[in-house]
Structure 1
Amino acid sequence: MEVESPGGSESRFIRMIGLRLPMVNQGDDLAELIVEAAAEAGERIEDGDVIVVASKVVSRAKGYVVNPNEVKFGLRSRLLAWLTGREPWEIELIRRGGELVFIMPFSKATRGTGFPELCSVDPTEARRMVESAGDVMLMRVRGLTLLDAGMDYSNCPEGHVCLLPPDPDAEAREIADRIEELTGAKVGVVLSDTEFQPMKIGSIDVAVGVANIFPIRRRFGARDYFGRPKFGGDDSVADELAAAAALLMGQADEGIPVVLFKGVDVEFSREASSEIWRAPSSKVVRVVAIGALKTLVAKLLRLA
């Protein structure tokens, strides 16, 4: 895929190449598979390229895959499972993955919205799946708010679930370093995961880990087209790359878990990590509490 972006008197181009990989299993050298897939696609990995990798293939390669029958759970997980309509082993894995933010009665929340019926090739089966899924849990994981702490069934071995890598930045760094070892090229790596969008139907891929690239474009306060300082400009480049890569990756059986970007304007930094653009949990709680209080006052006084 080639995208043209007008800039000044010259046009800028970004190339996106989806890379098909064989089935990835525990112990596979993921970086080597990526280099081989690029060569098969007629592409050479070069300095300045950015590679987006679906976190799911990292989980499979590193063994972050769990057999539900082997999960031990206690009373708290049993009680929370009863409350949410989930399996105790699911709750146990979710609780291990992060800090609870919010429990959403998903099936009730979707009734009458057109979801998932309007988004499915089989509306009846889609509704059945949603009704039988139980509540979903929003969890705070390494500064991100993720559905079920990133636990997922799709594209995992039969009878298993995939967990989010415990340190996505470290996984991205390992892939970047190994690719440099194999090719001599210094590349950026983004690990992506699919998440839902609050108050909006549909999911979107976001960055959960980065290596070698600064995840935010440092343009806050830069002059706009009319010469005024702009309140903004700090684009989340890592998230934008993850979302763009999803256009080629897809969510089902496309078999493209890696996308190679060429010509992307990013700031390369070996010290950068995804921690840079994540607010501390304590700060988030305080801000939400203050915002909720101000909103309540505005509503009570009918100011808005």
Structure 2
Amino acid sequence: MERVNKFLEAKSEEGEQIREVRVIPLTLTNPVTPEFASTMTAGQFFIEVLKERGISIENKDVLVVTSKLVSLFDGRTIKLKDVIPSRKARILGKFFHKDPREVELIMREGKVKFVIPFKKIAKHPILWKKMLKFSADPEGTREALDISTYVFVVRNHAAYLDDAGIDFSNSPSEYVTLLPKDPCKSAQKIREEIKQLTGKDIAVIITDTVSELGRMGSQDIAIGYSGIDPITRKSGKRDLFGEPHLGGNDMVIDSLAGMAGLVMGQMDESTPATLIKGLRYDSEKPDKDYKGMELVDYPPGLTVRSTFLTFLTTLWFYIVNFFTFQRWPRKR
């Protein structure tokens, strides 16, 4: 025990005192509608919610909000019946079994980078068995799969977004919800409104849900932020043994989005926001070279180049591996 205490004492002398971090859900009694959202701003709304819940807001708190709720206050909801699909949208919709009006909205949001044949992939016997194992309603899963036959992936806000992040379900009747045009500006506006109304300086993060490549399930990530440095800047620092470390650039805003996502949920939880208290973070740093999510985004064209170089290098690895004429070591 004494030996363990020595480690703990040394750590407490070098580092800051550890504080408890709390994630407080902001649950709503009723869902927000476009009509209601038009009567006030997002900042005013959150102040009212916090007052009703008896939650005090303090400096350095972090408000994490789903993009869908922000979109409602930004006026980014649209009636699907009002969308007139172009010829391109009608042709693509026919070949990929999607509503041409949905295709039209996806195209307006950005260029489609690739298309996932979701139904064909999901019908793999082992994967399908897993999907049903994790399903709360197997029949509902089957019905949903018939709707989501193909997924169009669009690159936006430094993320690969399924169907451009447009929410065709779980939206008010007859509406679909688009992502905020500029989530960082929306986050900044909410932050400034809260500061004006309360005098408290907080950070705001806007989230969306994306699929996890190669894993079952999805993950909440950040698509916008304000008042917080989105990434830690520790690359090159010496590690515990004095060696320079290439890593250390942790995506703070994605980690917080993931924490909040576990509390907010994606179905009928009616919790579109959380307030995180007790977290130590670096404030946002002004940058003349990058704006918003550009700071953490890959430069244009680098993704394609990286994929190509990775493919060639991996091919070269397999060629060299083959000519070693030796089996791969067994797992121990």
Please show how residues 20-35 of structure 1 align to structure 2 within 5 Å.
20-21=27-28, 22-24=30-32, 25=34, 26-27=37-38, 28-35=40-47
Give the Cα separation in 2 of the matches to 1:42 and 1:222: 42
How far off is 1:300 after superposition?
5.0
Give the Cα separation in 2 of the matches to 1:61 and 1:166: 12
How far off is 1:297 after superposition?
3.5
Equivalent residue number for residue 228 of structure 2: 213
1:101 matches 2:116: no
Matched to 1:287, the amino acid is: S
Please show how residues 290-301 of structure 1 align to structure 2 within 5 Å.
290-300=309-319
Matched to 1:46, the amino acid is: E
Give the Cα separation in 2 of the matches to 1:200 and 1:110: 12
How far off is 1:115 after superposition?
4.7
Moved more, 32-41 or 229-238: 32-41
Moved more, 202-211 or 37-46: 37-46
Equivalent residue number for residue 192 of structure 2: 177
| Residue aligned with 1:216, SS | coil
So what's the TM-score if we normalise by structure 1? Answer: 0.92
Q: Identity of aligned pairs, percent?
A: 35
1:286 matches 2:293: no
Q: Extract unaligned runs of 5+ from structure 1.
A: 1-5
Equivalent residue number for residue 325 of structure 2: none
Count of matched residue positions in the alignment of Structure 1 and Structure 2: 299
Whichever structure has more strand as a proportion of its residues is 1
Moved more, 88-97 or 277-286: 277-286
Moved more, 17-26 or 252-261: 17-26
How far off is 1:301 after superposition?
5.3
Matched to 1:11, the amino acid is: I
Give the Cα separation in 2 of the matches to 1:287 and 1:83: 30
CA contact (8 A) 1:52 1:242 kept: yes
Give the Cα separation in 2 of the matches to 1:20 and 1:32: 16
Deviation sequence 1:133-176 (CA, Å, 0-9, x none)? 22001111133211111011233111211111111111001000
Deviation sequence 1:10-34 (CA, Å, 0-9, x none)? 4331111111235323313221221
Please show how residues 264-275 of structure 1 align to structure 2 within 5 Å.
264-269=279-284, 271=286, 273-275=292-294
CA RMSD of aligned residues (A): 2.0
Equivalent residue number for residue 227 of structure 1: 242
Name the CA shift for 1:302/1:227 in 2 (closer, same or farther; >3 Å).
Answer: closer
CA contact (8 A) 1:143 1:275 kept: yes
Moved more, 70-79 or 195-204: 70-79
Structure 1 residue corresponding to 2:277, chosen from 262, 266, 274: 262
Please show how residues 1-304 of structure 1 align to structure 2 within 5 Å.
8-9=11-12, 10-21=17-28, 22-24=30-32, 25=34, 26-27=37-38, 28-111=40-123, 112=125, 113=127, 114-269=129-284, 271=286, 273-300=292-319, 302-303=321-322
| Residue aligned with 1:298, SS | helix
Moved more, 114-123 or 275-284: 114-123
Matched to 1:63, the amino acid is: G
Moved more, 259-268 or 167-176: 259-268
Find the structure with the greater CA-based Rg: 2
CA contact (8 A) 1:143 1:281 kept: no
Moved more, 137-146 or 202-211: 137-146
CA contact (8 A) 1:117 1:124 kept: no
Give the Cα separation in 1 of the matches to 2:150 and 2:176: 18
So what's the TM-score if we normalise by structure 2? Answer: 0.85
Whichever structure has more helix as a proportion of its residues is 2
Give the Cα separation in 2 of the matches to 1:83 and 1:115: 29
Give the Cα separation in 1 of the matches to 2:175 and 2:102: 11
| Residue aligned with 1:174, SS | helix
Give the Cα separation in 1 of the matches to 2:243 and 2:285: 32
Give the Cα separation in 1 of the matches to 2:140 and 2:258: 27
Give the Cα separation in 2 of the matches to 1:8 and 1:252: 42
Dislocated runs of 4+, deviation >6 Å = none
Name the CA shift for 1:38/1:270 in 2 (closer, same or farther; >3 Å).
Answer: farther
